[in-house]
């Protein structure tokens, strides 16, 4: 589980840096080639992407030795690290309410880790099913993106965030299968498996769509939605597609349910607080950019 927590640290760094690297990108470029071209020319965005990749690698290591049902919920720990990092970069203090929700999230994670006991599933035999699920999820994501282009407010952000959470949940399932092949089979079997290439394609697409969601509308809507939906999707697919199971008695099941509910509540609260502040920073950055453009026009 240590690898998953280290992955959460780097994931948090990647999220914070990538948000700041694109604050002055107009929201109407959230699903466009123009946004991608803008990102590719910025070193800061590449630095944030590199941190996110490192976070994913640690997450993959955790999945190589741990159950998806147990590892996936630990992704929400990224908020615990993103909160103070974002505040430090912005030269602001973390509010008491944010610290309170951070404590709730930490305790809930501790309860979940200490009580959850899982049985492994059929990782090698579930490859074809996982590919089929990935294809079906892309159809759903495509519908979300098409609907999102019809809006320019919080509904656009929510629709894109749903697509992001769904895609990363599927990516987690594919990653578990790939890591199982890597640790138990030969490299040739890994390279011959279609799961490997579906994982790469979905990972790239999910990363770009996530960046679009950051700028499609209010981060108060997009960030909590994607952070909650991703582990929920991964856990559900882990049990349905991979056949993982939780072995718990009734009191433990009640405690785990309470811990999960607390994790969801804390994630939504922290995501909204962080999103509200990031929205203010983005508005200021875009306003400054607009003033700069106006000054340039007057000078010319």
User: pLDDT tens for residues 265-290?
Assistant: 887 777 665 555 555 555 555 555 55
* pLDDT tens track for 77-104: 777 777 777 777 767 777 788 788 888 8
* 176-202 pLDDT, tens digit each: 999 998 888 888 888 889 999 999 999
Determine the pLDDT at residue 129.
93
236 vs 227: CA distance, rounded Å: 15
Of residues 136 and 39, more confidence is placed in: 136
Helix 194-216 to helix 43-65 angle (10° resolution) is 130
**Band of the pLDDT at 115, cuts 50, 70, 90?**
confident
Assess contact for 145 and 206: CB atoms under 8 A.
no
What is the C-alpha radius of gyration for the chain, rounded to an integer number of angstroms? 20
Q: How many CB atoms within 10 Å of residue 247?
A: 9
Distance from C-alpha of 273 to C-alpha of 123, rounded to nearest angstrom: 38
Please tell me the predicted confidence (pLDDT) of residue 83: 73
Burial degree of 119 (CB within 10 A; 0-12, 13-18, 19+)? exposed
* pLDDT above 90 coverage of the chain, percent: 21
Write down the pLDDT at residue 43: 87
Question: pLDDT tens digit string along 142-169?
Answer: 999 999 888 776 778 788 888 999 999 9
pLDDT at res. 295: 47
Non-local (6+) Cβ contacts of 92 within 8 A are 277
pLDDT at residue 33 is higher than 70: no
Those residues with Cβ within 8 angstroms of residue 280's Cβ, 6 or more apart along the chain or in another chain: none
The yes-or-no verdict on residue 298 having pLDDT over 80 is no
Q: Which two tokens stand for residue 21?
A: 């690297």
Residue-wise DSSP of the chain: -HHHHHHHHHHHHHHHHHHHHTTTS-GGGTTSHHHHHHHHT-HHHHHHHHHHHHHHHHHHHHHHHS-HHHHGGGGGGHHHHHHHHHHHHTT-PPPHHHHHHHHHHHHHHHHHHHH--EE---TTTTHHHHHHHHHHHHHHHHHHHHHHTT--SHHHHHHHHHHHHHHHHHHHHHHHHHHHHHHHS-HHHHHH-HHHHHHHHHHHHHHHHHHHHHHHS-HHHHHHHHHHHHHHHHHHHHHHTS--EE---HHHHHHHHHHHHHHHHHHHHHHHHHHHHHHHHHHHHHHHHHHHHHHHHHH-
The residue whose two tokens read 């399932």 is 173
Share of the chain above pLDDT 70, in %: 82
pLDDT tens, 216-259? 655 566 777 787 788 888 888 988 888 887 777 888 889 888 98
Least confident of 5-14, 199-208, 218-227: 218-227
Domain ranges (residues) in the chain: 2-275
Both tokens assigned to 197? 């290439």
pLDDT for the residue numbered 300: 46
- Above 50 in pLDDT, residue 294? no
Mean pLDDT of the chain: 80
Q: Does residue 213 have a pLDDT over 80? A: no
From 231, 237, 289, 257, select the one nearest 108 (Cα to Cα).
257
Position 117 scores a pLDDT of: 77
**29-33, 55-59, 212-216: which range is least confident on average?**
29-33
């Amino acid at each position: 589980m240590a690898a998953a927590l280290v992955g959460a640290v780097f994931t948090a760094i990647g999220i914070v840096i990538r948000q700041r690297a694109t604050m002055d990108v107009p929201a109407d470029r959230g699903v466009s080639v123009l946004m991608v071209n803008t990102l590719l020319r910025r070193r800061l965005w590449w630095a944030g992407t590199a941190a996110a990749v490192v976070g994913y690698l640690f997450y993959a290591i955790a999945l190589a030795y741990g159950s998806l049902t147990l590892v996936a919920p630990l992704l929400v720990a990224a908020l615990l690290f993103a909160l103070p990092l974002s505040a430090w970069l912005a030269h602001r203090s973390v509010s008491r309410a944010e610290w309170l929700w951070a404590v709730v999230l930490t305790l809930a994670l501790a309860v979940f880790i200490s009580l959850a006991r899982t049985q492994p599933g059929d990782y090698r035999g579930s490859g074809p099913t996982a590919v089929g699920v990935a294809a079906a999820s892309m159809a759903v994501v495509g519908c979300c993106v098409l609907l999102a282009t019809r809006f320019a407010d919080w509904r656009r952000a929510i629709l894109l965030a749903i697509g992001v959470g769904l895609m990363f949940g599927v990516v987690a399932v594919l990653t578990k299968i790939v890591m199982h092949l890597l640790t138990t089979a030969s490299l040739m079997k890994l390279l011959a498996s279609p799961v490997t290439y579906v994982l790469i394609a979905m990972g790239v697409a999910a990363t770009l769509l996530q960046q679009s969601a950051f700028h499609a509308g209010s981060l108060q809507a997009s960030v909590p939605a994607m952070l909650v939906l991703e582990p929920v999707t991964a856990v559900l697919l882990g049990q349905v597609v991979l056949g993982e199971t939780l072995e718990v008695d009734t009191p433990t099941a009640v405690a785990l349910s309470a811990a999960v509910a607390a994790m969801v509540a804390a994630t939504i609260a922290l995501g909204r607080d962080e999103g509200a502040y990031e929205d203010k920073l983005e508005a200021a950055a875009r306003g400054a950019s607009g003033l700069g453009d106006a000054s340039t026009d007057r000078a010319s």
